Structure 1
């Protein structure tokens, strides 16, 4: 257990937080996972995400079954109360306003330094040219017979203006920092707010699942057990797979993994998984998988849809037929197990587009 990978289960989701553990799962067990971490200040950093790595239920169950990982249930994270949200919001606003004031002060200092530098370059030459123009204007006015006192007054005013120091640069009036006059206030996504009195004593509804051990109070991965134990919701991951379909998914995942294939999320492409021949950073997916449990009927329209969907996305449809030999007699409502363990048979499906 000391050498196995710790899977920290948060609200039914298994995660890996250690880079070396991620590399071990990736290279030794062909588990690619999904990176979910990003930088707080670069919320759109979606090209190369980082830790933690989240795992599908099938991936977590496969690692645990192989003895490569163990579960570390964590308490559920409760939504913050209104008082906590208000307090943290006020602290965030005060911190951002302090940053805005500091940025504005730095901007004003830079503007003053730039203005002083611009005024200092060639200031003596500009003053000399202004004095020269004042002398020429004085001499011309005296030659034209103007009053000597008025000419002298204009000349002294021109000399004072030419030799006066430049006026200081006044800081800009910006008012109070807000989201309209600064870019330091980011829009915070909406989040649930629960009052403390609403949270007290609130329980979770247990989910009944099909399969062995029905009615034992256990639930599957991602489903919450009853309240009371803070780790109960997270520890439910250890009971995956629970339903018949969960077992079919786990067995099919293990069968594909044993063939050196890697699985990624596939609902966006209309399947259970996207099946890759290797690391998804190096290869495109070759298949979109559909898991058929036991003797489920398949409609011809579904075959056509799966084939056309796979061909439209430049992938082949992969039918994964799982059977454990169990059949339910609808007349007596009992189950009968046949000899043999569960088995998975694969069929590829492509749309030829004939006609």
Structure 2
């Protein structure tokens, strides 16, 4: 899917979480801006599923902040935006419902066409199977008739039985003709919209929420992201982030990432544990943070530009 959604992309703020409900927005951000997020949606029938999750996509505050800083996305208070549904004009509501019905009818036709195609393939295989069985029965009957025929008179009873066998397995033109199938109902498939925009218009910039608050590790996160890395939560490996050299669907992560303040004391045991863990799972242990000078830097953007990072690896293991 190569379509680009309209910018800025609205990120729904719901109960302290930053969510994306549009598949177009999810694929665009992953392809163009290296934002992966975490799928958290489950099926209503399988609320305990934990392997194949779907929309919505939850973003880390760092990911949402990065997109806002780049003017790619905006933060929308979804609870307030939903109240605008009551103010939606009746004509706009009807037009949107008609669009949903047309979309549902389109997918219904695609489903009917797929079923017809599968039915035709099945009938073709059955006809081929019948033809092979008939040819085999004819060959057996001909061989039996040649062996049992003793005179030029009427065919013996055995050949008559063979003929009956041949008629039994021969393809029946009447049965092989296209069977009368009931035309499936063309009622439109129900479409459940996953996004609020549309039908609601994109909220104006005056109603956008402030940029998300981020942890002190944000400068390191933004620094690695600017270097082309894909970053995901690192809880499963006991770190803050996992850094991938490309899309996580194609690459294993290269670094376990932990952020420190510039003047923070680092326990030597933390370095040893991180280095041994990274080496044990074939990854580097990367630490870093925003460099502070005598003139304390207040700008978050300046902090991102002054990040320094170091990686540790155990040799000989």
- TM (norm. structure 1) is 0.47
- Asked if 1:344 corresponds to 2:312, the answer is no
Query: How far did residue 54 of structure 1 move?
Result: 0.3
Q: How does 1:175-324 map to 2 (within 5 A)?
A: 238-241=211-214, 246=215, 248-324=216-292
* 2:10–2:76 contact (8 Å) kept in structure 1: yes
Query: 2:7 is paired with a residue of what secondary structure?
Result: coil
Partner of 2:21: 17
Cα distance change on mapping 1:236 and 1:338 into 2, 3 Å: closer
Whole-Å separation in 2 of the counterparts to 1:45 and 1:237 = 34
Tell me, in whole angstroms, the C-alpha distance in 2 between the residues paired with 1:35 and 1:352: 37
Aligned to 2:72: 68
- CA 1:260–1:38 in 2, change beyond 3 Å: closer, same or farther? same
SS of residue paired to 1:75: helix
Q: CA deviation at 1:13?
A: 0.9
Q: Secondary structure at the match of 1:238?
A: coil
Q: Offset at 1:256? A: 0.7
> What is the aligned counterpart of 1:35 among 29, 35, 39?
39
After superposition, give the CA deviation of every residue in 1:29-85 in whole Å (9 maximum; x if it has no partner): 100111111211133543332110000010000000000000111339xxxxxxxxx
Match of 1:53 among 57, 60, 64: 57
Structure 2: distance between partners of 1:276 and 1:51: 23
Counterparts of 1:10 and 1:284, CA distance in 2: 32
- Residue aligned with 1:337, SS: coil
Aligned to 2:184: none
Listed one character per residue, the Cα deviations across residues 257-294 of structure 1 (whole Å, up to 9, x for unaligned) are: 11110111102212110111111111111110010112
Counterpart residue number, 1:5 = 9
Contact 1:270 1:309 in 2 (8 A): no
* C-alpha spacing 1:302/1:50, structure 2 compared with 1 (3 Å): same
Higher helix share: 2
Residue-pair matches, total:
182
Larger Rg: 1
Give, in whole Å, the separation in 1 of the partners of 2:240 and 2:12: 24
Cα distance change, pair 5–322 in 1 and its aligned pair in 2 (3 A): same
Cα distance in 1 between the residues matched to 2:292 and 2:18: 27
